[in-house]
């Protein structure tokens, strides 16, 4: 109680200081106040720990799935009755997938009122892209390059989830990936560690806000630590084998950024990394995360990943797996039943030091205190707030705005877009055009099927044109939420004829094609990444009837759309954009919103090019030598170039870059400036991008690396000077011993609207 009073007193001090506006004094004092709050939490945690039995401590490290939803395979040895018994004994520290104020209150009440110590549960949920109101899939949001919008998107998702009783999200997923076959690319920020790090930070800040103790902020979880985005052959959960340079320079940076932004939890991963499962990997969790990075939150395992170390052939049985996991630094066991069943014995037998358990429990309790759960375990359980917040106009507006910002214009020959608003006959074709579930994407477990605005509905909101709709062909059959398998090979073509006849009498054809929302996501890797089923054939057939086609893509990964790129005059990348999808797409097609998205992942020409990414290394034989020469690094059947490069995206206006200037101000600081002009006829936004190349280094460096960008809005004919500041953070890299430094020498820079930027200069450090 005394500590609570002290805490409240601190809050009063903070707010009175804020109102006085003593900015500088405020930040120094605030820091010391916060560290005192932290100290007071540490005192409370120690006091509570001292009262706990070993079983109660281990209970805090045990997380169970709710009894309602299941997002993974259900372990054979666990059932609802046993979970319920454990909950009553205080052997459960957290639950996931319990949602809604009524249900959360039910389980929280058991933890708080029926257990000996009354320690509240922390309630986790996959709030990945929205909660009940769904925002664009994270890959789409990354295409906005708009960090403020991404932060806001995470913030409103947190608000909605918090209003539903949830206090912890298993997001952001900050896994970098270069393999479009991997189904979970939809859940990350794409292929680039620089963009990925900034987005990781924005998302963590959005979920957690400035004060975790508020009832509308929730704890974030950076996942999957680490390497999960680099599975061999793109198959989910597969082996990961990467060198130190890739680990330190590509994979780890977004996790470090998430930690620095204050992410209170991390999730480890299903994959093995260089022979050691991530869940049992002490180098990752103890040496890097908790050691070098000084992370003081807690690590939760991925679903059942302690047990999976047996299938990895790393642990011989569950007992051994539990021992490996705790020693490696995994603090909370998600659904392996390993800690709750094995740890006490391991401690008794002297195989596991109780100090390791104490450390894990302290971390977990600390986060619960920070969330304010001890002060009021029901603070997230307010029916009135739940009613008011979920699906509110404010949240709907935020996801609509995010959806528009996520759209990327890939092609627009002869300015086919924007569409004329009146007097046009428009044929809309494709099953996805009339789908109100698919736009919700893959992670939408709290959202109801059928709650997205379809493209057709979005277009119909514009009344000046005549619209006819034909499905043409199905995209999936037998769809249910999280079906075991989605049929991709839909082959029924009986709808083609009607689609052709609608196209024949139309001025413009809008074809909405791609993948269903559940074709990407966890466990949804694909070996072919074109349009699914017979959609390619449908596209080619309709094209024969009317060439005036706008292709709107719905997809959760880069697709191979060579034919479309060669033939279709306008292509719009519209991903899976969430609840407001159809309105966002229609507003872009009609020019009420000028698209400014840029691809966060390279689009390959064919799947054989994968993994394909812009920041690759050079080779000893990198360029095209004399014509007819064979012995250089290339394919004999496809060029090395991608279909669309990283950072690429068009607008309804055009931009020109000029007057590139470089000023080296010290041996680790460089200023780059460039003029950007809107040379077209309408207002528009451009993501100006800066890439560097460290020409020669002790460890070879990529041919280009993104090191700065700015989203700039310009009126027609307006010019702005953009300045990028490069510091040691941007100029340096990790060597193969994990040491970060800037190496003097020559650097090239490239500035422009994509990773293919041609405006270039050099400087020496």
CB of 297 to ligand BGC, least distance (A): 16
Nearer of residues 126 and 470 to ligand BGC, judged by Cβ? 126
When asked if residue 591 is in the footprint of ligand BGC (CB under 6 A), the reply is no
Tokens coding 21: 């506006």
Question: With CB under 6 A, what is the number of residues at the site for ligand BGC?
Answer: 9
CB of 264 to ligand BGC, least distance (A): 15
CB of 71 to ligand BGC, least distance (A): 4
CB of 331 to ligand BGC, least distance (A): 15
CB of 169 to ligand BGC, least distance (A): 9
Nearer of residues 181 and 404 to ligand BGC, judged by Cβ? 181
Residues 564/593, Cβ–Cβ less than 8 Å: no
Residues 389/159, Cβ–Cβ less than 8 Å: yes
Nearer of residues 523 and 738 to ligand BGC, judged by Cβ? 523
Tokens coding 209: 């806000």
Nearer of residues 310 and 712 to ligand BGC, judged by Cβ? 310
DSSP H helical ranges for 267-426? 282, 308-311, 318-328, 338-348, 354-370, 383-389, 393-406
Nearer of residues 170 and 750 to ligand BGC, judged by Cβ? 170
Site string for ligand BGC, 508-547 (x = CB under 6 A): --------------x-------------------------
* Cα dihedral sign, 314-316-318-321: negative
Site string for ligand BGC, 289-328 (x = CB under 6 A): -------------xx-------------------------
CB of 654 to ligand BGC, least distance (A): 41
Nearer of residues 302 and 756 to ligand BGC, judged by Cβ? 302
d(CA 361, CA 369): 12
Residues 270/228, Cβ–Cβ less than 8 Å: yes
DSSP H helical ranges for 164-313? 193-208, 244-246, 252-260, 282, 308-311
Nearer of residues 64 and 170 to ligand BGC, judged by Cβ? 170
| Residue 533: closest CA among 579, 493, 480 | 493
**Strand-pair partners of 123:** 95
When asked if residue 223 is in the footprint of ligand BGC (CB under 6 A), the reply is yes
| Residue 449: closest CA among 422, 481, 497, 476 | 481
Nearer of residues 7 and 64 to ligand BGC, judged by Cβ? 64
| Residue 750: closest CA among 615, 619, 595 | 615
Considering only residues 71, 246, 673, 748, which one is a binding residue for ligand BGC as defined by CB under 6 A? 71
**Residue 113 carries which DSSP code?**
I
Nearer of residues 186 and 456 to ligand BGC, judged by Cβ? 186
CB of 96 to ligand BGC, least distance (A): 6
508 three-class SS: strand
Nearer of residues 303 and 652 to ligand BGC, judged by Cβ? 303
**Of the residues 146, 175, 302, 474, which is catalytic?**
302
Q: Looking at beta carbons, which pairs linking 755-760 to residues 24 or more positions away fall under 8 Å?
A: 755/614, 755/615, 755/645, 755/646, 755/647, 755/648, 755/689, 755/691, 755/704, 755/706, 756/645, 756/647, 756/648, 757/647, 757/657, 757/689, 757/691, 759/657, 759/658, 759/660, 759/674, 760/660
Residues 197/203, Cβ–Cβ less than 8 Å: no
d(CA 93, CA 333): 10
d(CA 578, CA 400): 8
Tokens coding 301: 């395992």
Residues 98/472, Cβ–Cβ less than 8 Å: no
d(CA 471, CA 473): 6
CB of 219 to ligand BGC, least distance (A): 13
Query: How, if at all, do strands 425-429 and 94-96 pair?
Result: unpaired
CB of 521 to ligand BGC, least distance (A): 10
User: Look-up: residue for tokens 């020469």?
Assistant: 629
Query: How many CA atoms within 13 Å lie on the side-chain side of 154?
Result: 30
When asked if residue 693 is in the footprint of ligand BGC (CB under 6 A), the reply is no
302 tagged catalytic: yes
CB of 479 to ligand BGC, least distance (A): 20
Considering only residues 26, 29, 72, 341, which one is a binding residue for ligand BGC as defined by CB under 6 A? 72
Site string for ligand BGC, 175-214 (x = CB under 6 A): ----------------------------------------
| Residue 591: closest CA among 459, 426, 419, 412 | 419
Nearer of residues 129 and 223 to ligand BGC, judged by Cβ? 223
Span 94-133, contacts to ligand BGC by CB under 6 A: 96, 126
Q: Which residue is nearest to ligand BGC (CB)?
A: 170
Outline where DSSP puts E strands in 431-555. 466-470, 508-514, 549-554
CB of 64 to ligand BGC, least distance (A): 12
Considering only residues 64, 131, 168, 170, which one is a binding residue for ligand BGC as defined by CB under 6 A? 170
Q: Which residues are known catalytic residues? A: 302
* Residue ranges that bind ligand BGC, judged by CB under 6 A: 71-72, 96, 126, 170, 223, 302-303, 522
């Amino acid at each position: 109680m005394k500590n609570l009073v002290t805490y409240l007193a601190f809050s009063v001090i903070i707010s009175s200081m804020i109102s006085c506006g003593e900015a500088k004094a405020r930040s120094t004092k605030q820091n010391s106040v916060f560290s005192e709050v932290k100290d007071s939490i540490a005192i409370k945690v120690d006091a509570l720990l001292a009262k706990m039995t070993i079983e109660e401590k281990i209970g805090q490290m045990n997380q169970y799935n709710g009894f309602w939803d299941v997002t993974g395979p259900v372990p054979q040895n666990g059932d609802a009755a046993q979970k319920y018994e454990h909950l009553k004994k205080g052997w459960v520290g957290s639950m996931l997938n319990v949602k809604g104020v009524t249900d959360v209150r039910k389980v929280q009440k058991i933890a708080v009122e029926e257990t000996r110590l009354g320690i509240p549960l922390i309630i986790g949920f996959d709030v990945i892209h929205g909660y009940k109101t769904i925002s664009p899939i994270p890959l789409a949001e990354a295409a906005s390059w708009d960090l403020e919008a991404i932060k806001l998107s995470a913030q409103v998702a947190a608000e909605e989830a918090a209003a539903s009783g949830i206090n912890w999200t298993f997001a952001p997923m900050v896994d970098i990936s270069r393999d479009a076959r991997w189904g979970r690319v939809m859940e990350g920020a794409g292929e680039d560690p620089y963009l990925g790090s900034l987005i990781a930070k924005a998302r963590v800040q959005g979920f957690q806000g400035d004060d975790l103790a508020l009832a509308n902020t929730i704890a974030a979880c950076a996942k999957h630590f680490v390497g999960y985005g680099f599975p061999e052959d793109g198959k989910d959960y597969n082996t990961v084998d990467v060198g130190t340079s890739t680990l330190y320079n590509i994979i780890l940076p977004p996790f470090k950024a998430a930690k620095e932004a204050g992410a209170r939890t991390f999730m480890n991963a299903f994959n093995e990394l260089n022979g050691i499962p991530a869940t049992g990997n002490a180098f990752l969790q103890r040496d890097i995360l908790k050691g070098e990075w000084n992370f003081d939150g807690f690590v939760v395992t991925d679903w059942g990943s302690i047990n999976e170390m047996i299938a990895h052939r790393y642990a011989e049985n569950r007992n051994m797996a539990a021992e490996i996991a705790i020693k490696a630094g995994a603090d909370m066991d998600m659904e392996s039943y390993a800690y709750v069943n094995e740890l006490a014995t391991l401690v008794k037998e002297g195989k596991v030091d109780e100090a390791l358990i104490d450390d894990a429990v302290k971390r977990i309790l600390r986060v619960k205190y920070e969330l304010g759960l001890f002060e009021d375990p029901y603070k997230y359980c307010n029916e009135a707030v739940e009613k008011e917040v979920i699906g509110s106009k404010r949240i709907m507006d935020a996801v609509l705005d995010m959806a528009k910002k996520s759209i990327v214009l890939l092609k627009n020959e002869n300015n086919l877009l924007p569409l004329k608003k009146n007097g046009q006959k428009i044929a809309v074709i494709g099953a996805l055009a009339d789908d109100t579930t698919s736009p919700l994407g893959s992670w939408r477990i709290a959202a109801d099927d059928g709650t997205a605005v379809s493209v057709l509905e979005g277009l119909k909101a514009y009344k000046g044109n005549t619209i006819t709709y034909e499905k043409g062909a199905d995209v999936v059959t037998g769809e249910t939420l999280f079906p075991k398998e989605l049929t991709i090979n839909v082959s029924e073509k009986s709808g083609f004829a009607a689609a052709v006849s609608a196209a024949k009498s139309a001025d413009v054809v809008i074809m909405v094609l791609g993948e269903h929302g559940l074709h990407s996501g966890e466990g949804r890797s694909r070996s072919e990444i074109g349009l699914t089923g017979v959609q390619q054939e449908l596209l080619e057939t309709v094209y024969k009837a009317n060439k005036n086609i706008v292709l709107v893509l719905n997809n959760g990964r880069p697709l191979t759309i060579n034919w479309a790129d060669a033939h279709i005059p306008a292509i719009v990348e519209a991903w899976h954009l969430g609840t407001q999808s159809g309105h966002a797409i229609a507003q872009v097609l009609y020019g009420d919103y000028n698209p400014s998205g840029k691809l966060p992942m390279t689009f390959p020409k064919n799947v054989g090019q994968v993994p394909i990414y812009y920041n690759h290394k050079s080779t000893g034989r990198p360029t095209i030598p004399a014509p007819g020469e064979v012995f250089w690094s290339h394919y004999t059947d496809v060029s090395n170039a991608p279909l669309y490069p990283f950072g690429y995206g068009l607008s309804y206006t055009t931009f020109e870059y000029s007057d590139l200037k470089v000023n080296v101000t010290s041996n680790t600081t460089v200023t780059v400036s460039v003029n950007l002009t809107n040379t077209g006829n309408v207002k528009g936004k451009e993501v100006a991008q800066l890439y560097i190349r460290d020409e020669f280094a002790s460890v070879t460096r990529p041919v280009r690396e993104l090191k700065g960008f700015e989203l700039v809005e310009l009126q027609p004919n307006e010019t702005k000077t953009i300045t990028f500041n490069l510091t040691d953070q941007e100029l340096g890299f990790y060597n193969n011993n994990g040491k970060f430094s800037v190496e003097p020498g020559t650097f090239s820079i490239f500035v422009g609207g994509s990773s293919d930027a041609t405006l270039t200069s050099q400087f020496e450090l």
